[in-house]
């Protein structure tokens, strides 16, 4: 009869030993440890904190399993340096599952030239056998406007006019001084030049291009999104 309570309490002890809580601060600390290991190419934290059966999806849309992920962690080449800092972390911790969502601010120096990028990452941590590891990670990069270039106002006369996508679906291109605008349904947005004939709208991913026909006149406005084109035909 004495064996029963001993076995019971042993089972409770084992269960409690495997039920290890975790906090947001600890998740952030571990995540920052991962990013601090990137520049020197230290694979140890990545081996430690990623589960053997993890899925890692980066901002380029590439999918990695753990062996491919670890193999991708290498020291930065000579002349390169940088850092990634975690900001704006939020978490949801329920039982043996924890989700950490945060911004990653990257600074990179390439032979004295400074670059910046911002990402948003969501990691799902799972506790198994008392060990918290990342089972899934998804990253995307925040869109940033390109640098403003120089337009050629002499070409604005070619661009001005009305463009039609379909029946009742039109947009107009107008110029005011040295600035170009596109207007649709009463909403007017400035077209900022990336190059003489390539424009973008502030905060809107994609490009606006003007197509010249064989006659030398603009016959279409091209709304290019992720390398796919929506064509607006010039009507007047």
Domains of the chain, by residue range, sit at: 21-141, 153-234
The dihedral of CA 130, 46, 120, 138: what is its sign?
Answer: negative
**Fold of domain 21-141:** Nuclear Transport Factor 2; Chain: A, (3.10.450)
Residue 111 φ then ψ, to 5°: 50, 50
Residue 150 backbone class (left: φ over 0; alpha: ψ -120 to 50; beta: rest): beta
Strand 161-166, strand 187-195: pairing? unpaired
As beta bridge partners, residue 231 has 222
Report which of 212, 113, 191, 83 is spatially closest to residue 146, judged by C-alpha positions. 191
pLDDT tens string 108-120 = 999 999 999 999 9
Find out whether 178 and 151 touch, Cβ atoms under 8 Å: yes
- Structure token pair of residue 221: 């406005």
Find out whether 134 and 49 touch, Cβ atoms under 8 Å: yes
**Per-residue model confidence (pLDDT) at position 226:** 82
| Rounded CA separation 197/211 (Å) | 9
Instruction: Tally the C-alpha atoms within 13 A of residue 100's C-alpha that lie toward its C-beta.
Output: 26
pTM: 0.73
pLDDT tens string 161-175 = 999 999 989 999 999
**Per-residue model confidence (pLDDT) at position 90:** 98
CATH 3.30.70 fits 153-234, yes or no: no
CA 39 centroid distance within chain: 20
| Rounded CA separation 149/3 (Å) | 81
Alpha helices in 95-170, H assignment, sequence order: 156-159
Q: Which residues of the chain have pLDDT under 50?
A: 1-16
**Per-residue model confidence (pLDDT) at position 18:** 60
3 state DSSP class of 151: coil
């Amino acid at each position: 009869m004495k064996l029963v309570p001993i076995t019971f309490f042993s089972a409770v002890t084992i269960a409690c030993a495997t039920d290890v809580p975790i906090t947001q601060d600890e998740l952030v600390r571990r995540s920052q440890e991962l990013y601090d290991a990137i520049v020197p190419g230290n694979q140890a934290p990545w081996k430690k904190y990623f589960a053997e059966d993890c899925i890692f999806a980066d901002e380029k849309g590439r999918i990695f399993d753990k062996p491919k992920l670890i193999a991708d962690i290498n020291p930065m080449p000579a002349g390169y340096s940088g850092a990634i800092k975690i900001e704006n972390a939020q978490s949801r911790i329920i039982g043996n599952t924890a989700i950490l969502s945060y911004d990653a601010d990257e600074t990179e120096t390439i032979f004295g030239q400074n670059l910046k990028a911002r990402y948003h990452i969501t990691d799902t941590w799972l506790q198994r056998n008392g060990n918290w590891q990342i089972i899934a990670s998804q990253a995307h990069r925040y869109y940033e406007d390109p640098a403003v270039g120089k337009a050629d106002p002499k070409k604005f006369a070619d661009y001005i006019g009305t463009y039609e996508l379909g029946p009742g679906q039109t947009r107009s291109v107008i110029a005011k001084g040295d600035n170009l605008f596109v207007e649709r349904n009463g909403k007017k947005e400035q077209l900022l030049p990336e190059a003489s004939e390539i424009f973008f709208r502030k905060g809107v991913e994609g490009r606006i291009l003007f197509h010249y026909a064989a006659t030398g006149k603009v016959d279409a406005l091209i709304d290019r999104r992720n390398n796919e084109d929506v064509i607006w035909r010039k009507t007047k």
